Structure 1
Amino acid sequence: MARHGEALTLPGSRTREIVVPMISLVPLAFATVVFVWPLGVLVARAFDDSDGATLTELWDRTHAWRLLAVTGAQAAGSALAAVIVAAPIVWLLATVRLPGAGLLRAIVTVPFVLPTVVVGVAFRTLFDGPLAFAHIGDGWAAIIAAHTFLNVAVVVRVVSAAWQRVDPREVAAARVLGASAPRAFVDVVLPRLVPAIVSAFALVLLFCSTSFGVIVILGGGEASTLETEIYLQGIGYGKLPDAVALSMMQIVLVLAALGLARLVGSTRVPPAGSAADLRPPRGLRWLPVAAVLAWIGGWLVLPVATLVIASLRPGGRWGLAGYRALADTTYGPSAYSSLGYSVGSGLFAAVIAVAVGLLTATALTRGGGIVSKIGAGLSVLPLGVSAVTLGFGYVLALSTMPYEVSASPMVVPCVQALIAIPVIVGVMVPALEQVPAGLRDAAAVLGAGPLRVFWTVDLRLTARSLAAAAGFAFVMAIGEFGATTFLARADTTTLPVLIGSLMGRPGADNLAAAMAASVVLVAVSAAVVALVEAVSSPRPRRKDTAC
């Protein structure tokens, strides 16, 4: 028994005070080696090659302010379009109970995890095929449409989760007091959705401001943003100081978007909302439901369906020539070989991302102090740094290392994991925060050490969230295109990199192979997302039966 006035110390608490700072060092060390080091090498090299020009002079000669305005405008336009397109889908998923809702959520989510190069190929096929009459072709309209397709899922997940947290009794009270359904929505529901809408807008703005593959494929050689100009200055012209100066401006833009998202809401992936208040459609209520389903088909299904059909009709004739070309090894590894490598490296990357992300989330939720906060900050920063900049930094950093290190098969998975870690942290922090502290204390009182408590309590209660996070990490890893482009060799060519290479080669056969490879990647991503939805969707509670 503790004496009066003395604090009761639970068994294992002192050990936990030591363990938490120790596990915080792992994410910090990983982020330092895999993220800070290549960027530091790039910046140092840029200063060495500098001709004495100041940062302002570098911005002036690269027309950085114009590029910043163009990048911000296209990102804001894409984010606004994504919010508008997502609005009816949010209503459907947040208020209506439909059979096959899990499949519908998977259809909405798949575009977000597709590689940007695949999305570019899909929309190029769409605008040159079924929508050729619209004369969209290349340019900003095509880019914004593709960005909207990619990011609708962000808005849907963030805003629908906020809508499902609105107490339906408040809406019912407004209706009882005489408010019409639209008035009740405006007065009760909408004010609670505004922070989520602004947060989703900021996140889409962030993703679109660093877009590369879509702009390269759909820009028609004329659309230019900070991201594409960084690539042009660094790789095309070999002007490192100019590329680094543009990267600094881009980081400021991205940090502003992240700050806006943090200010008005959380950037974490929200947990699935409760389906208890969803109402099945009856009678005339099926009309708006059918309209929204058609809306989803037009925006999210049509581009992929067009890509699938085009892959089966290369040159206007039905056939499997594109898929047979996937086995071709004329220019190097076949597409099937690249797919095998992509899956293998994606699995390694998912394992690394889960390990580092879970340690980061655990340290943050257990009060790891300043070390864990620094590690968490570094784990999120890759969202805001140009993939082109990161890849270029890797090329310079690895060139100074022994061949055994630079040629290691773990380089690509580590880079892919770096992109996926923010997703793991975003999913697991809210999941771990919901674990009752009393359960941990009870396990400690019964003699369980910190690791045993973590294994039997935390992981057991958050296993479904962790499985979903691992699935998303895998599909993000196999779809990474920007940084991996710089690191790919003959034996480490991922499927997205191969698709980009095929798109750059002349000839209808290469285009057919690129479309077929894109369809294969879509199928893999869709299968994983469907599995994630099946694992993470809340199971219906069984009703108690009388004996």
Structure 2
Amino acid sequence: MELFATTALIALLSAVVATILGYPIGNWLAGTGRKTRQLVSAFLLVPFLLPAFLIGITLLPLQPNAFNSITGILWIIGAHVFMNVGFMARVVSANQIPADQMEAASLDGASGLIKRFAIELPQQLAGMLSAGLLVALYSATSYGLVLTLGAGRVDTLETEIATAALRDLDLSLALALALLQTALTLCFFYLARSIGAEPTPLFGEKETASTGSKLGGVLAALLLAAIVIVFAGVFVRAITYGPGLVENFANLAGRGGRQILNISVAEAALNSLRNLLVAALIALPVAWLAAGRKKTSYLVLLPIGISPVVYGLVFLVLSGYLPSALSGTWLLVPIVQSLFLIPLSYQVLRPARQSVSTEIKDAALLDGAFGWKMFTQVEGPLVRKPLSVAAAFVALGSLGEFGAASFLAYGSQATLPLVMFRLISRPGPENLGMAMAAASLFIAVALAVVWIISLEARTQRQER
């Protein structure tokens, strides 16, 4: 129960702090010009798109050598907040109140403070609670981050599941802890449903009358500075650690100092790309179909709160009962990854599909647009931006998945996060230099994805 309480505390505090900081930043974003909003939003979203273990790697060199479990928990919560504040701010910015409502309130004599807390906040609350639920679920299942920043001094349900299953071979204890972790997820969902959480758009183009937020501007500047400092530190370490920049990147084709890896970093990256394609082919169609239903399905969101470590453990136990053509292959990893990528895609696609006018769909049906035609000629073009965002989230989520892969990917099937963690957990400047070089590439890919999403938004506006 101490592990249960620690995991719940980390998740709840991470979500609450990210929401409190994200609200003024989101209001400030909404009050800026369109170009500024796009540019700042892109940078703020980069930490959210990166895998948790990679955030742990980037912050690890900043952590003091001497710390206890309390300070370790604070570091983990701080890392979660660093990852998710930009996401919360984007949710708030995309769900501002229409300008006509604010103008009507001004005509009735409402002050700025009253408009903010009596008109805006109540209407934004459902979306903020839904985003907060997502942050809490991610924070409760960030196995790689706890492993890197906890340094053995912070134990959560996830780390103990892995220890019981992989080190002690105590599957009964591991399964009992997995049930506790699932119970924690159910508690979060019950809480979210009881207070009215509802998925809302991440990218809105409404005409708003937001006056911005001075506090949000200050917090946004501090957050942007932190993002630049942290990520610049990774690039600097890729240059200065080990034999230097060129050799660190060249060494990615090798197996590290003293051949500590079973496969090279480049081969592991190819494994991750292969898993990504299969996971996306499963997750995106399922999320698309679920997002088209009239009622919000919390059952679709449920898998995101079950730890990848739990999935890995369950599939490891079941592998003996699965067909040999499946249990002994790499396919298990992307199948498991798709289970918790479906809810993430659903969170993005649900508001987008629901916003498509029923009149448009009914007219298309009368013209004979069914199934694939409805998707390619009617709904798909209308929700192209959210669809590309969902695809980007799935891609980066699969590439950076650590927990399930630690149970199911081994030998020549190891993924990029596994070999990166092995590199930082072994001494030697050559290994650390390789890890920082790989992390730099990961960050560059995330920046490219965010930039492509931003270009997509501009293209859509030009077409309109």
CA distance in 2, matches of 1:109, 1:278: 24
Letter of the structure 2 residue corresponding to residue 93 of structure 1: L
Conserved 8 A contact 1:117-1:214 = yes
1:206-225 to 2 correspondences below 5 Å: 206-225=137-156
CA distance in 2, matches of 1:137, 1:172: 48
Conserved 8 A contact 1:75-1:208 = yes
Conserved 8 A contact 2:98-2:208 = no
1:268 aligns with 2:199: yes
The equivalent of 2:221 in structure 1 is: 294
CA distance in 1, matches of 2:357, 2:17: 40
2:413 pairs with one of 492, 496, 511: 492
Higher mean Cα deviation, 267-276 or 213-222? Answer: 267-276
User: Which secondary structure state, in structure 1, belongs to the residue aligned with residue 329 of structure 2?
Assistant: coil
Q: Compared with structure 1, are the counterparts of its residues 293 and 271 closer, same or farther at alpha carbon in structure 2 (3 Å cutoff)? A: closer
The equivalent of 2:61 in structure 1 is: 125
1:160-171 to 2 correspondences below 5 Å: 160-162=93-95, 164=96, 166-171=97-102
Conserved 8 A contact 1:267-1:426 = no
Higher mean Cα deviation, 151-160 or 318-327? Answer: 318-327
Conserved 8 A contact 1:468-1:535 = no
The equivalent of 1:311 in structure 2 is: 238
1:203 aligns with 2:139: no
5+ residue gaps, structure 2 = none
CA distance in 1, matches of 2:357, 2:85: 34
CA distance in 1, matches of 2:445, 2:68: 32
Displacement after TM superposition at 1:243 (Å):
1.6
The equivalent of 1:15 in structure 2 is: none
1:22-101 to 2 correspondences below 5 Å: 65-101=1-37
1:328 aligns with 2:254: yes
1:442-481 to 2 correspondences below 5 Å: 442-481=363-402
Displacement after TM superposition at 1:536 (Å):
4.5
CA distance in 2, matches of 1:186, 1:447: 47
Letter of the structure 2 residue corresponding to residue 260 of structure 1: L
2:88 pairs with one of 155, 161, 172: 155
Instruction: Give the structure-2-normalised TM-score.
Output: 0.88
Deviation sequence 1:299-330 (CA, Å, 0-9, x none) = 33322222221221116x86444323212233
Larger Rg: 1
Displacement after TM superposition at 1:219 (Å):
0.8
Q: How many residues align?
A: 460
Displacement after TM superposition at 1:537 (Å):
6.1
Displacement after TM superposition at 1:479 (Å):
1.2
Displacement after TM superposition at 1:493 (Å):
1.9
CA distance in 1, matches of 2:264, 2:238: 17
Higher mean Cα deviation, 499-508 or 287-296? Answer: 287-296
Letter of the structure 2 residue corresponding to residue 431 of structure 1: A
The equivalent of 1:428 in structure 2 is: 349
Conserved 8 A contact 1:70-1:225 = yes
Higher mean Cα deviation, 303-312 or 395-404? Answer: 395-404
User: Which secondary structure state, in structure 2, belongs to the residue aligned with residue 91 of structure 1?
Assistant: helix
Letter of the structure 2 residue corresponding to residue 387 of structure 1: P
Conserved 8 A contact 1:79-1:205 = yes
User: Which secondary structure state, in structure 2, belongs to the residue aligned with residue 139 of structure 1?
Assistant: helix
Letter of the structure 2 residue corresponding to residue 419 of structure 1: F
TM-align CA RMSD: 3.1
Deviation sequence 1:172-201 (CA, Å, 0-9, x none) = 454455554334423332333344444433
CA distance in 1, matches of 2:299, 2:118: 40
Higher mean Cα deviation, 321-330 or 534-543? Answer: 534-543
CA distance in 2, matches of 1:424, 1:143: 26
Conserved 8 A contact 2:312-2:405 = yes
Deviation sequence 1:282-303 (CA, Å, 0-9, x none) = xxx9x87863442122333322
CA distance in 2, matches of 1:444, 1:188: 38
User: Which secondary structure state, in structure 2, belongs to the residue aligned with residue 89 of structure 1?
Assistant: helix
Displacement after TM superposition at 1:335 (Å):
1.2
Instruction: Give the structure-1-normalised TM-score.
Output: 0.76
Letter of the structure 2 residue corresponding to residue 105 of structure 1: S
Deviation sequence 1:25-58 (CA, Å, 0-9, x none) = xxxxxxxxxxxxxxxxxxxxxxxxxxxxxxxxxx
Displacement after TM superposition at 1:121 (Å):
0.7
Identity of aligned residues (%): 32
The equivalent of 2:447 in structure 1 is: 526
Q: Compared with structure 1, are the counterparts of its residues 137 and 320 closer, same or farther at alpha carbon in structure 2 (3 Å cutoff)? A: farther
The equivalent of 1:252 in structure 2 is: 183
